[in-house]
Amino acid sequence: MKTLSRNCLSLLLVLMAPLPLRSQPSNGDWNKVPLTALKVGVAEADITPAVGIPLAGYVGRTGGSTDIHDPLKVVAVVFDDGRSKAAILSFDSIQLLQADGDDLLRAITKVTNIPATHIVFNASHTHAAPWLSTDASYRQTVISRVVQAVQVAVDRRKPVSLGYGEGAIDFNINRRAINAEGKSVIGLNPSGPNDKRVKILRIDADDSIEPLALVKNAACHANVFRDANKQISADFPGLAKSFVERAFNGRTTAMYLQGCAGDLRANLPPLSTGWRNGSEADMTWAAWSLGAEAVQVSVALRVSEQLQRRSRDLKIFAAADTLHLAADPEKLKNPSALRRDRIEKGKIIFPIRTLAIGEFLFISLPGEPVIEYGLGIEQDLASLGKKVFVLGYGAGDVGYIPVKRMMPEGGYETEGPYWAESEAAIRAGVKNLVSKMFSQK
């Protein structure tokens, strides 16, 4: 309850505080934002489909969507250090397939000349949005609007300063309960692996209280609205975005980056009849908890003592690779285990990306990695002294990605083509790619 009380206090402070002025007196150079040579541009686009399109995330949900609860967005943040450009894009979408990512990369690179290896995609994994491939016209509209958003972000580049902080959320929980036989069953497991942190990257372009952009990174399945829902929605990431932007008077663009949420969900205890569809109150709890914590951390990053700690050296490095992971030969005999993963000659096709902006290091994994990948990869890279963001849900034909420890427990996260050796291969592949990236001149 301590975290909940803290978030409630944050919310009250946000709602009760007087609106800050757009431009505040600097009170001397010590309170000025230390702008750097790095330039950043930010833009967003609406990618809400027409009502009637089927929603993804639940095989048993039939029929099309019936209404729009809240809009779906794509947010583009473009970085330019004077040598090269890079971009991070967040999508209110269930997931991007490899073909989606490839087509988006080609279209963005053609218009903006940002190298394909310097572009990171991240889907929020909302279960109230469609697969892009559901409708060809919708897919093309999304690609077109994404390219336009990136170009607008390129055109808006300006010198910035970056601040980093961490807060905590209270609504995510591990969903792999372990029964008396030591096997995994679907349930809430408060003692299971989890990451309560929300990582905040504040991007300032002037001395105002409101940041240019605020990037939030946490890990939790975006399915507060479950299979009973037929309204289009960005789920809690979208409503948290709106909360942050309202708190900063509409002068800030908020971005949510989904972490390794394969085995994490919102802590909504089931009813006697089974899992319940989240209510508006549940959604508000999750979204406003995240939003309030993000605002609180962000405002603290603007005080003069924090400004003095900000890095001035913000060079861009980036790399991409495709791992070819040996698939479990026994699971290859079961077609149902291969619904979402692309297999070629007994190998899982597993694309990974790394992007560094000075001291900030982004790792992009495809599909649905469980939270121990986020924690483990961050530990693997600790010696670099970077602020590490380990993201899931990058573009790729990949399903759930379990760790070695889970294999004897079973559970549907382990039903895909991975086996005990996969975890070590993935973590080694990431570490090697990071090393290769930083060896570039």
pLDDT per position as a tens digit, 273-296 = 667 889 999 999 999 999 999 999
Using the predicted structure, report yes or no on whether residue 242 has a pLDDT greater than 70: yes
Sign of CA pseudo-dihedral 418, 419, 425, 426: positive
CB of 387 closer than 8 Å to CB of 164 = yes
pLDDT average, residue stretch 174-182 = 96
Confidence class of residue 1 from pLDDT cuts 50, 70 and 90? very low
Sign of CA pseudo-dihedral 51, 54, 56, 57: positive
Residue-wise pLDDT tens digits, 18-70 = 455 454 555 567 789 999 999 999 999 999 999 999 999 998 999 999 999 99
Using the predicted structure, report yes or no on whether residue 186 has a pLDDT greater than 70: yes
Sign of CA pseudo-dihedral 159, 357, 116, 398: negative
Q: What are phi and psi of 372, to 5 degrees?
A: -65, -20
Using the predicted structure, report yes or no on whether residue 324 has a pLDDT greater than 90: yes
Within 10 Å of residue 157's Cβ, how many Cβ atoms?
A: 17
**Cα separations in angstroms, 436 against 42, 379, 397:** 29, 18, 24
pLDDT average, residue stretch 426-430 = 98
Q: CB within 8 A of 117, min separation 6: which ones?
A: 318, 319, 320, 353
Using the predicted structure, report yes or no on whether residue 2 has a pLDDT greater than 50: no
Pinpoint the alpha helices (H) of 208-279: 235-247
The pLDDT value given to residue 20: 52
Q: What is the DSSP letter of 271?
A: B
**Distance separating alpha carbons of residues 184 and 194, to the nearest angstrom:** 16
Percent helix, strand and coil across the chain, each to the nearest 5: 30, 30, 40
**Distance separating alpha carbons of residues 79 and 270, to the nearest angstrom:** 43
Closest alpha carbon to 61 in 232, 185, 188: 232
Closest alpha carbon to 259 in 366, 363, 391, 364: 391
Helix (H) or strand (E) holding 281: helix 280-300
Residue type, 176: R
**Cα separations in angstroms, 154 against 36, 74, 313, 330, 335:** 17, 15, 21, 48, 44
CA end-to-end span of the chain: 49
Within 10 Å of residue 35's Cβ, how many Cβ atoms?
A: 17
- Sort 408 into a burial class: Cβ within 10 Å, 0-12 / 13-18 / 19+: exposed
The mean pLDDT of the chain is: 93
**Distance separating alpha carbons of residues 78 and 151, to the nearest angstrom:** 9
Within 10 Å of residue 191's Cβ, how many Cβ atoms?
A: 9
The pLDDT value given to residue 21: 45
- Three-class SS string for 124-135? CCCCCCCCHHHC
> Token digits for 360?
């900030």
Q: Which residue has the tokens 């934002």?
A: 33
pTM listed for this prediction:
0.94
Q: Which residue has the tokens 């029929």?
A: 63
| CA dihedral angle for residue 113, residue 116, residue 120, residue 124, rounded to 10 degrees | 90
**Distance separating alpha carbons of residues 257 and 270, to the nearest angstrom:** 27
Using the predicted structure, report yes or no on whether residue 104 has a pLDDT greater than 60: yes
The pLDDT value given to residue 18: 46
